[in-house]
Amino acid sequence: MNILITGASKGIGNAIANELRSIGEIYVTGRDENALIACKANGFCVCDLSKDVSRLVEFIEKNHIDVLINNAGEYLYHNIENITVEELQRIYQTNLLAPTYLISKAVPYMKSKKWGRIINIGSISGVMGEAYASLYSASKAGLLGLSKALALELAEYKITVNTINPGWVETELGKSSIDESEFSQEEILENIPQKRFVQPIEIAKLCKYLISDDAKGITGQGINLCAGLSVGI
């Protein structure tokens, strides 16, 4: 089993890489070469998904990736009228367009094996919507639609496609998201039913389950791992 995790240099992606090391060959990609080296994976590719992904496409085809975890993402907290074209292109390219293109390049090998796993890391913001994070919410909502459509398209090849939608996660990105917002950490925690942030290892273990044969009947699903945030307050 050859597993590629995007955005694996830190946070959720790094936790996933460490957790899945026991079940397959781990390949990682991200922008920080030193951090990727520290992952001690079977191979890595330095790549910025908001720019050129041609090197990563070659990497996918060369290493016969049959488990693709689209984890890399960018967050932007901004009112809609002040968004620039550059911001729009960067967010959509990183969060939706690049994952879609990477899937298209990984699928041929999965089809030849008649087995594969595609896991997209979305966000609870893509399920519920988040004021002042419209580009982020829309791009993550796009992953849900993509997963549903591809689950149907690829089902006969025993390829499953699912989206995990984390809520607030205790990572550098999560902390920076709080800093960019108008709310304090205490105010955010007060609105989470479990009064806690999700830990990266929780997402990693869910990925491990979705890859397993026990989860072969789960496809086209958006799974909310959000400490109850999607239910209400």
- Residue 136: active-site member: yes
Is residue 172 a part of any domain in this protein?
no
pLDDT exceeds cutoff 90 at 179: no
* Span 149-163, average pLDDT: 98
Q: Which of 27, 77, 92, 136 is catalytic?
A: 136
| Total number of domains constituting the chain | 1
SS3 14: helix
Is residue 101 a part of any domain in this protein?
yes
207 within 8 A of 148, measured Cβ to Cβ = no
pLDDT class for 184, splitting at 50, 70, 90? confident
Q: What is the pLDDT of residue 125?
A: 95
Is residue 56 a part of any domain in this protein?
yes
Is residue 60 a part of any domain in this protein?
yes
The CA-atom distances, in angstroms, between 60 and each of 56, 96, 109 are 6, 18, 10
Is residue 127 a part of any domain in this protein?
yes
Q: What is the DSSP code (8-state) at residue 81?
A: G
pLDDT class for 233, splitting at 50, 70, 90? low
- In the predicted model, what is the mean pLDDT of the chain? 93
Using a 10 angstrom Cβ sphere, with 0-12 exposed, 13-18 middle and 19 or more buried, the burial of residue 98 is buried
Is residue 176 a part of any domain in this protein?
no
* Span 42-69, average pLDDT: 95
Residue labelled with tokens 């488990």: 67
Q: What is the DSSP code (8-state) at residue 198?
A: B
CATH of the domain at 133: 3.40.50.720
82 Cβ neighbours under 8 A, 6+ residues apart: none
Q: Which residues span the domain enclosing 125?
A: 2-167+199-225
76-130 tens-digit pLDDT = 998 999 999 999 999 999 999 999 999 999 999 999 999 999 999 999 999 999 9
The CA-atom distances, in angstroms, between 19 and each of 118, 119, 191 are 17, 15, 29
Phi/psi region, residue 228 (left: phi>0; alpha: psi -120 to 50; beta: rest), is: left
Is residue 149 a part of any domain in this protein?
yes
Is residue 191 a part of any domain in this protein?
no
